[in-house]
Amino acid sequence: MTMMRAVEVGALAPDLAGLAIVEKPVPEPGPGEVLVKIEAAALGFPDLLMTEGLYQAKPPVPFVPGMEAAGTVAKVGEGAPFAVGDAVIVGGLTGGLQQYGVYPAAAVSPKPARLSFAQGAGLRAAYLTAYVSLVRCGQAQPGDWVLVHGAAGGVGLAAVDMARALGLRVIAVASSEDKLARVRDLFAPEHCILGPTGFREKVLEITGGKGVQIVYDPVGGDVFDESTRCIAFGGRLLVVGFASGRIPEVRANIPLIKGFSVVGVRAGEFGRRFPELGRENIAAVMRMAAEGAITPTVHAEVPLDRFREAYAAMRDRTVVGRTVVLPHG
Instruction: Give per-residue pLDDT as tens, 155-199.
Output: 999 999 999 999 999 999 999 999 999 999 999 999 999 999 999
Q: 41: domain CATH number?
A: 3.90.180.10
Query: Using an 8 Å Cβ cutoff, are 38 and 6 in contact?
Result: no
Are residues 73 and 37 both part of a single domain? Answer: yes
SS3 readout for the chain: CCEEEEEEECCCCHHHCCEEEEEEECCCCCCCEEEEEEEEEECCHHHHHHCCCCCCCCCCCCECCCCEEEEEEEEECCCCCCCCCCEEEEECCCCCCECEEEEEHHHEEECCCCCCHHHHHCCHHHHHHHHHHHHHHCCCCCCCEEEECCCCCHHHHHHHHHHHHCCCEEEEEECCHHHHHHHHHHHCCCEEEECCCCCHHHHHHHCCCCCEEEEEECCCHHHHHHHCCCEEEEEEEEECCCCCCCCCCCCCHHHHHHCCEEEECCHHHHHHHCHHHHHHHHHHHHHHHHHCCCCCCEEEEEEHHHHHHHHHHHHCCCCCCEEEEECCC
Are residues 107 and 96 both part of a single domain? Answer: yes
User: Domain ends where: 226, 254, 269?
Assistant: 269
Are residues 36 and 118 both part of a single domain? Answer: yes
Are residues 72 and 133 both part of a single domain? Answer: no
Q: Is residue 280 in some structural domain?
A: no
Are residues 140 and 244 both part of a single domain? Answer: yes
Are residues 101 and 223 both part of a single domain? Answer: no
Q: Is residue 284 in some structural domain?
A: no
Are residues 262 and 131 both part of a single domain? Answer: yes
Spatial distance between the Cα atoms of 161 and 151, rounded to a whole number of angstroms:
10
Q: Is residue 169 in some structural domain?
A: yes
Q: Is residue 62 in some structural domain?
A: yes
Are residues 249 and 314 both part of a single domain? Answer: no
Are residues 141 and 265 both part of a single domain? Answer: yes
Are residues 96 and 194 both part of a single domain? Answer: no
* Residue 172 bridge partners (DSSP): 148, 192
Measured in residues, the chain has a length of: 329
State which residues form the domain around 229.
126-269
Are residues 310 and 261 both part of a single domain? Answer: no
Q: Is residue 279 in some structural domain?
A: no
Are residues 116 and 144 both part of a single domain? Answer: no
Query: Using an 8 Å Cβ cutoff, are 102 and 29 in contact?
Result: yes
Count how many domains the chain has: 2
Q: Is residue 287 in some structural domain?
A: no
Q: 176: domain CATH number?
A: 3.40.50.720
Instruction: Give per-residue pLDDT as tens, 102-133.
Output: 999 999 999 999 999 999 999 999 999 999 99
Q: Is residue 276 in some structural domain?
A: no
pLDDT by residue, tens only, the chain of 329 residues: 699 999 999 999 999 999 999 999 999 999 999 999 999 999 998 999 999 999 888 999 999 999 999 999 999 999 999 999 999 999 999 999 999 999 999 999 999 999 999 999 999 999 999 999 999 999 999 999 999 999 999 999 999 999 999 999 999 999 999 999 999 999 999 999 999 999 999 999 999 999 999 999 999 999 999 999 999 999 999 999 998 989 999 999 999 999 999 999 999 899 999 999 999 999 999 999 999 999 999 999 999 999 999 999 988 889 999 999 999 98
Spatial distance between the Cα atoms of 203 and 132, rounded to a whole number of angstroms:
24
User: Domain ends where: 233, 251, 269?
Assistant: 269
Q: Is residue 34 in some structural domain?
A: yes
